[in-house]
Structure 1
Amino acid sequence: MGVQVKKGRRDRNVRKRATVYTSSYRGGASWFVLELAAGMAAAGGDVLLISPRADPEEREALVTGIRRIELPRGAYGEGSKLVRLSRTLMRILSTFVAYARARGHGRSYVISFYDWLIVLVLQMLWIRLLGGHIVYVVHDARPHAWASPGARRRLESWLLKASYYLPQQLVTLTEVAREQVINEFGRRGPISVIPHGAYSSSEIPSASGKRNLLAFGMLRRNKRILETIEGMRVAVADGARATLTIAGGPHKEDVDYWTECETRLLGTEGYIHTEIEFIPEARLDQLLAKCDALILPYEEFSSQSGVAVLAACSGRLLVCTEAGGLGELIANGLEAVVIERPVTAETVADAIRRFDALPIEQVQAKAERSKAALDHYFSWVRIGGEYLKLCRRA
């Protein structure tokens, strides 16, 4: 006779199983999913990861020992437009096959980031047909910029709404985003709020006291880069000693915004420096080590900022608004130099002047107290446990 497994124990093991998916392989999107999968596994979950291999390769260490269905990376890399499109189509098709294979692992699918909305909706329908339970992580309730113009935007809006109706469970990173999904899109099903975890990073030295500010990440309108440039100009004219580095790539749906920002840089060469490109992890560590604080004058923002979480948990002061998840960070112990809203050149300049007036000892003390307050809140193991609870409801 074979060994009999008690039904209750078998059911408990099944409820610990989860499939975690992303199409992303680099940047904060990929990093988020790898940390989440690792956190869920560390919290006791039996995790199957569906994703491309990460770039940089070193991040693969996060998911060592986790079962994997590896996807092709898609459009990025060398080759003609046709070759890159073929790669993307291959990844999309292979994802449908991977979802079917993963159904034998368990019912729960945790989905974060996607190629295109129409593909996401088709994938969700496919999972529902397979009898799966979808936990969808909503990073931004409303897109920073719509991908389609005119009449096609109505289709895009409908697809976005469908992506909020098809999952049995939604997760937002902030309470503000949760309310937005309910009020603007009419979602009536379960929505949980689970914060963005803290990315693991290299040891960052103490702030140098050179008054270096860093604006980092995707250069979108709601990050108010234009007002930051003008605010620096005003603050320096008033005698502030601060300098600013702007690092990151333009948002692909609104590349004209950075072109507009560039026109305002004339005459700021002595105190504003730019690196307008994708910033790899090693360079990000260098930028964090060089700066004394990060500046985030965000508006029209309902999500959590991975940049803010990384900075705070790396021991860097934040000069920021209280928009979206930034306000929730402050409520949970972040000591920031607050930028008043609505964001203008003058409100940014005022915050820069207040930052500039702080003795470096106070800058470092605020950063250290913030890190201590937020470390547990942003533990990936704790966060992974919260996702497992949602998966066990399937």
Structure 2
Amino acid sequence: MRVLMVSWEYPPVVVGGLGRHVHELARELTAAGHEVVVLSRRPTGSDAGTHPTVDEQLDGIRVLRAAEDPAHLEFERDMIGWTLAMGHAMVRAALTRLADWRPDVVHAHDWLVAHPAIALADVLDAPLVATLHATEAGRHAGWLSAPLNRQVHSVEWWLAHRADTVITCSRSMRDEVATLFDLDPEPIAVVHNGITPRNWRVGAEQVAAVRARYAADGAPLLLYFGRLEYEKGVQDLLAALPRIRRRHPGTRLVVAGAGTQQEFLVAEARRHRVRRSVTFTGHLPDAELAALLAAAAAVVLPSRYEPFGIVALEAAAAGAPLVASTAGGLGEVVRNGLTGLSFAPGDVPGLAGAVGVVLDDPAAAARRARAARSRLGTDFGWTAVAADTAAVYARTPHGGPVDLERPKIPTGNVFGPPDAP
């Protein structure tokens, strides 16, 4: 099949996990014999003078990267205006450079490319598949309080209803999308994210150096790595740390990553009187992260909202014992008692108890870690992910253009009773 994949990030422009997902999916689809064109963008804040539109072949994939338009728009200050301009640039780049090439399917990745993906599916007369990697309501615990939240939600609704097939990365996300956008869950396809094999092996000297740096006295070392955003639940891990340290004195925590909530989390560490026991490292190079993973007694993922949980797969690939909440896809990725230990999102005593079980019995934790790693090749390999995605393409009906009414925006918490405070 000929596939036009539309994504607002694609390496080297990477914001989160979506860019890597699209990259690996495109590579595997190409390896399987499909013809893939990726339509993406140039870096934020650039223009046609510094970063012109490019049309290149990489790993057998045709990558068309649209230059930013001249208008002075900033993602941080005017997200919707910037997103619309990005979509306009993508549409112009595709229509002026694809010539006679026509896709058998257009695949949109998330709401930021809804406008160009819908426009191109209409103009090029191709079925539209949309992967919803997360939702605005989910990221904000069910609330759509601000105008921006409601704007994003309405674009997600539009993409979900215009798409001929919707894909989600987990069963929990399928249920969330169906509930939020009033869709029948049955036709929504569930295709898990994949894990890219990488060399996590490190020498004993590197592990010893990490332990000397973060836990020189031989005390247990816990690790969180990922984005520092409220929905990731790091504040719950900080709240649980005093309980963990009472049961296992001296336990230290390393928080690796960056995000908008770093100052809040530092303040939370002070409030819980564990600031000296927590190290915030910022984003770490792979080599340093690999050494931390090898040294950690447990990787703790306390997410309150998690569509899938790719970090859990990366920790499993490194052989690290896992303690994770059951939020969203994490409940499917981590099998409680078999490949890790789980607790309910926001349950601070449950979190502390699960970590305590790991620290009490390292041998059992290591057995669970080995079981987690053994699942990766069969359940989360990119070859299988690409085959499942191609199967979705093949069975997607061609509904054609459709004009939709503006959706009604919920006034309360969309995951709770209408009169929730």
For Structure 1 versus Structure 2, the TM-score category normalised by the shorter chain is 0.7 to 0.9
Map 1:236-275 onto structure 2 (within 5 A): 236-251=245-260, 255=261, 258-266=262-270, 267-275=273-281
Q: Which has the higher contact order (CA 8 A, sep 6+)?
A: 1
Residue in 2 that maps onto 1:30? 19
Residue in 2 that maps onto 1:345? 348
Bigger CA drift: 204-213 or 260-269? 204-213
Q: Which amino acid aligns with 2:388?
A: E
Q: Does 1:70 align with 2:74?
A: no
Map 1:214-363 onto structure 2 (within 5 A): 214-251=223-260, 255=261, 258-266=262-270, 267-276=273-282, 278-279=283-284, 281=286, 283-301=288-306, 303-331=307-335, 335-339=339-343, 341=344, 343-359=346-362, 361-363=363-365
Change (3 A) 1:352 1:122: same
Taking only the aligned residue pairs, the percentage that are identical comes to: 22
Change (3 A) 1:291 1:265: same
Cα distance, 1:379 vs structure 2: 0.8
CA contact (8 A) 1:332 1:374 kept: no
Residue in 1 that maps onto 2:53? none
CA contact (8 A) 1:172 1:192 kept: yes
Partner of 2:177: helix, strand, or coil?
A: helix
- Structure 1: state its 5+ residue gaps: 1-15, 55-61
CA contact (8 A) 2:107 2:131 kept: yes
- Structure 2: state its 5+ residue gaps: 44-56, 212-217, 397-421
Residue in 1 that maps onto 2:392? 390
Cα distance, 1:282 vs structure 2: 5.0
Q: Does 1:135 align with 2:119?
A: no
**Mapped partners of 2:192, 2:157: distance in 1:** 22
Residue in 2 that maps onto 1:95? 90
**Mapped partners of 1:68, 1:273: distance in 2:** 40
Partner of 1:376: helix, strand, or coil?
A: helix
Change (3 A) 1:377 1:262: same
Partner of 1:165: helix, strand, or coil?
A: helix
Q: Which amino acid aligns with 1:170?
A: V
CA contact (8 A) 2:334 2:341 kept: no
Give the counterpart of 1:375 among 361, 374, 377: 377
**Mapped partners of 1:295, 1:68: distance in 2:** 37
Residue in 2 that maps onto 1:181? 177
CA contact (8 A) 1:72 1:90 kept: no
Change (3 A) 1:238 1:201: same
Partner of 2:370: helix, strand, or coil?
A: helix
Partner of 1:265: helix, strand, or coil?
A: helix
Superposed CA RMSD in Å reads: 3.6
**Mapped partners of 1:382, 1:265: distance in 2:** 42
Cα-to-partner distance string for 1:300-334 (whole Å, 9 max, x where unaligned):
44x11111122112322210122221221235995
Change (3 A) 1:81 1:387: closer
Cα distance, 1:91 vs structure 2: 4.6
Structure 2 length as normaliser, TM-score?
A: 0.73
Partner of 2:269: helix, strand, or coil?
A: coil
Cα distance, 1:213 vs structure 2: 1.8
Residue in 2 that maps onto 1:156? 152
CA contact (8 A) 1:74 1:89 kept: no
**Mapped partners of 2:275, 2:143: distance in 1:** 34
**Mapped partners of 2:161, 2:40: distance in 1:** 24
Change (3 A) 1:159 1:90: closer
Structure 1 length as normaliser, TM-score?
A: 0.78
Bigger CA drift: 179-188 or 200-209? 200-209
**Mapped partners of 1:386, 1:206: distance in 2:** 37
CA contact (8 A) 1:17 1:106 kept: yes
Q: Which amino acid aligns with 1:218?
A: R
Cα-to-partner distance string for 1:172-209 (whole Å, 9 max, x where unaligned):
01111111222221124831001010133223349969
Q: Does 1:42 align with 2:34?
A: no
Cα distance, 1:123 vs structure 2: 3.7
**Mapped partners of 1:148, 1:181: distance in 2:** 15
CA contact (8 A) 2:255 2:278 kept: yes
Cα distance, 1:250 vs structure 2: 2.3
Q: Does 1:198 align with 2:200?
A: no
**Mapped partners of 2:289, 2:114: distance in 1:** 30
CA contact (8 A) 1:244 1:271 kept: yes
Change (3 A) 1:332 1:365: closer
Change (3 A) 1:111 1:156: closer
Change (3 A) 1:285 1:89: farther
